Structure 1
């Protein structure tokens, strides 16, 4: 039950209709349209009369008329409430309403909508599936909720409440900036000062800001991204009108020799290539930076899950090898904390950060202060590093169980991820249609990610699957892979 504020009730300006009738019609329409719901309490007669500048008896008479018509019921000493069986548009004419012929044709005015998540979107009810082989969702059963709650309470403490409650304009929480520099990017070998770090609402926001700054229309040159690659980056670049050129990846990551002349920006995921999981070799990293210097292009490094290096120590970030300020480094807490946090960051030369900050300010001003300060406490208390260590150990066990289960069924990852990650890139037999397989497996209580969505090609290969294992319990992996393998064999047998 909600209490309807008197500020949500307005009277029409029709002088030919009495005040009582106008008030009754206003409330009736609100109930009919569903703005006032069954059980909601109407404003007190005195408060509503004072707000509308009319007499209290007029309000009382309007309420009595609403009671008589069945829209409102009185409760002794409690007031007037919207009746449980009050008529409303949805119950009477259904949820679909006719659109008048003279409505503005927005589809013609706007043109085709930007590309949506499509097949990469996780179903909203993914938690009900017994075998969710999906990427990007953590196993929240192991998240230190109590520690996070304590950090949130600290952030809401009276001593620092002004910090999180104030409009920070274009500024970031100084404590969070300090913690990002000391406890996050330092682990990747990156040194920076506060003017070179910008907090963003997740890595996707950071990618948009970087692209928006770099893709000025007066600058020539192609934009390179990996093939296969992150679909939402491709959609973002296309929405900005950028000429995107896909460059293939192999076991060592992006094939640097395939970058075309005249390139102005290269987007890469060197730690764990999205989606194959390949780690870019040191030779490739050095070659990429050498070409960037020789041909004067910029590199955007999306280090979305560097914490997941558990099989061997991770290689240093491209940004740590950058001597000329050509690398824009992007990090995120979505994979290591939880995706709903929507908190990321960008590390770049100060002039670049200033431009990105101005764009962010026009969009969202700054990420929520409470979120920033809570995350800062979470990092400063050591909870983040402890959680990351436990997560790496857990992912290492799941990775081992998954590989064993795949090999037992004669299935093998296309690229051996030497450093870790939270997914495997599986190449199925020739002729496999992973898109159809994903549909069929939903009836077997399983979710998988077909690989076709990661390709820019109009006719992408259909036999690749990204097998995520960040959220599925370890004990369910072998049985899930047995079901997956059986479904693959059944599809091929029916061809």
Structure 2
């Protein structure tokens, strides 16, 4: 029996190459039990015509499925579902008993209910996505990343891909960070003072786990990265939010008894304020006087396209009290989940042991792929390309904002990829964001970035890393129109 060609269709916008989509479509048909052993597939010519793809695409897909034993080829007869094809399991599920566990009593600690901002899964479908921190496929170097990934899959790197490093990291990646990345921030570090992490979030978790408990006090910026506030809340420490100003975290506002200070001096999150050199020095002096440690999250230093960035806080540290956190989330892509932390050898040794107890190490293949991408010069090329694009987008964005009479509350001195905005009095940015989503515009409400019950509701963040330059003007016009409408509605109440 020949399977009807009409049962095959490609999903518009599906990921992967056309060949991969055809393979997946047939494999899923076999695994689901819709296609049975011995049934004949449509000819490659007929299926290609039906799907609107080239015949070679279907032929290659069939050939790959034969190699994987999903299909068998019979001379001039065609392709059939193989006798050795995976057979879907046949079972009758048992009726599920009622859950009798009292989870309200069984859970000794809860991690839900935090403030981490969410984004719609379909944000890429928005025509005006002023979303922050997401990768733009038009700017990412897919071809060279793929080549580096394939090279990392080679026989030469088999051990790097497959071995259990236990608590170690890829030496090529660590060497690149030590010799190229950190010197750009004025930081000198030995390999034993560097730890690869699953992004900055993992580094911040490790730090809080090792340095904080219920008897210690930590200072965070207000507003700040919500996920950071959430994880510090889970540590049980005394958490003191300190309101930032136009220059970032004010050292004189840090209270006595502080043990750990979290700061984002290069691009304050989310206001984008850049801490000037004299304040960085004052912050280190304040930390020294308190005998406190400082965690510097330098998450976006590569996005300095307006001028060279200020030296990292860590580069000014003369007594080892600064723990430096970096990430490739903004400069490469957030799904990579790759970052690093730099600190005194004694601290990194303990962080390495804690990381090994939780997840051993980030995947070896990912580390080696990133090491090749960085060391072969592709990373620097991408940063330059992104810098040019972001600079142009920033110029167009600021011009559109000025033309529409919107208010910028914070802009990075050296660049970055977002602006911190302030809506007029009485306009709630959360309701404004909901109104704009219906108009295919995405903005990020600012209230979750603030601590405490009385959170300012007028602020919002505009990211410009993923929106095409040509759409910025119309997107800002829609934001301005929605803002005016919200203001009128508030005035009428």
Tell me if the contact between 1:115 and 1:235 (Cα under 8 Å) persists in the aligned partners.
no
Q: Against the structure 1 CA distance between its residues 221 and 119, is the aligned structure 2 distance closer, same or farther, given a 3 Å change threshold?
A: closer
| Alignment match of 1:131 (pick from 121, 125, 128) | 128
2-structure distance, mates of 1:241, 1:175: 37
Q: Which residue of 2 aligns with 1:67?
A: none
| Alignment match of 2:244 (pick from 244, 249, 272) | 249
| Alignment match of 1:469 (pick from 459, 464, 480) | 464
| Alignment match of 1:144 (pick from 131, 135, 141) | 141
Residues 423-475 of structure 1 deviation map (CA, whole Å, 9 limit, x = unaligned): 00001111111011111111100111000010012120110011111101111
2-structure distance, mates of 1:456, 1:437: 21
Q: Against the structure 1 CA distance between its residues 82 and 488, is the aligned structure 2 distance closer, same or farther, given a 3 Å change threshold?
A: same
| Alignment match of 1:373 (pick from 368, 372, 386) | 368
Residues 257-283 of structure 1 deviation map (CA, whole Å, 9 limit, x = unaligned): 111111000000011000000001111
Of the structure 1 ranges 157-166 and 444-453, higher mean CA displacement relative to structure 2 is found in: 157-166
Measured on the aligned residues, the alpha-carbon RMSD in Å equals 2.3
Q: Against the structure 1 CA distance between its residues 76 and 389, is the aligned structure 2 distance closer, same or farther, given a 3 Å change threshold?
A: closer
The answer to whether the aligner puts 1:212 opposite 2:209 as a matched pair is yes
| Alignment match of 2:175 (pick from 178, 195, 201) | 178
Q: Which residue of 2 aligns with 1:122?
A: 119
1-structure distance, mates of 2:444, 2:300: 18
C-alpha deviation, 1:165, in angstroms: 1.0
Aligned residue pair count:
418
Q: Against the structure 1 CA distance between its residues 76 and 357, is the aligned structure 2 distance closer, same or farther, given a 3 Å change threshold?
A: closer
Q: Which residue of 2 aligns with 1:423?
A: 418
Q: Against the structure 1 CA distance between its residues 351 and 38, is the aligned structure 2 distance closer, same or farther, given a 3 Å change threshold?
A: same
Of the structure 1 ranges 469-478 and 119-128, higher mean CA displacement relative to structure 2 is found in: 119-128
Residues 16-47 of structure 1 deviation map (CA, whole Å, 9 limit, x = unaligned): xxxxxxxxxxxxxxxxxxxx8434889xxxxx
Q: Which residue of 2 aligns with 1:437?
A: 432
Q: Which residue of 2 aligns with 1:193?
A: 190
The answer to whether the aligner puts 1:345 opposite 2:343 as a matched pair is no
Name the SS for the 2:296 alignment partner: strand
Q: Which residue of 1 aligns with 2:300?
A: 305
C-alpha deviation, 1:79, in angstroms: 7.9
1-structure distance, mates of 2:139, 2:178: 26
Q: Which residue of 2 aligns with 1:459?
A: 454
C-alpha deviation, 1:162, in angstroms: 1.4
| Alignment match of 2:328 (pick from 333, 348, 373) | 333
Q: Against the structure 1 CA distance between its residues 405 and 117, is the aligned structure 2 distance closer, same or farther, given a 3 Å change threshold?
A: farther
C-alpha deviation, 1:125, in angstroms: 1.1
Tell me if the contact between 1:183 and 1:379 (Cα under 8 Å) persists in the aligned partners.
no
Tell me if the contact between 2:222 and 2:242 (Cα under 8 Å) persists in the aligned partners.
yes
Name the SS for the 1:399 alignment partner: helix
Q: Which residue of 1 aligns with 2:72?
A: none
C-alpha deviation, 1:113, in angstroms: 3.0
How high is the TM-score relative to the length of structure 1? 0.80
Q: Against the structure 1 CA distance between its residues 112 and 222, is the aligned structure 2 distance closer, same or farther, given a 3 Å change threshold?
A: closer
Name the SS for the 1:320 alignment partner: helix
Name the SS for the 1:198 alignment partner: strand
1-structure distance, mates of 2:300, 2:95: 48
2-structure distance, mates of 1:318, 1:388: 22
2-structure distance, mates of 1:116, 1:134: 22
2-structure distance, mates of 1:81, 1:298: 58
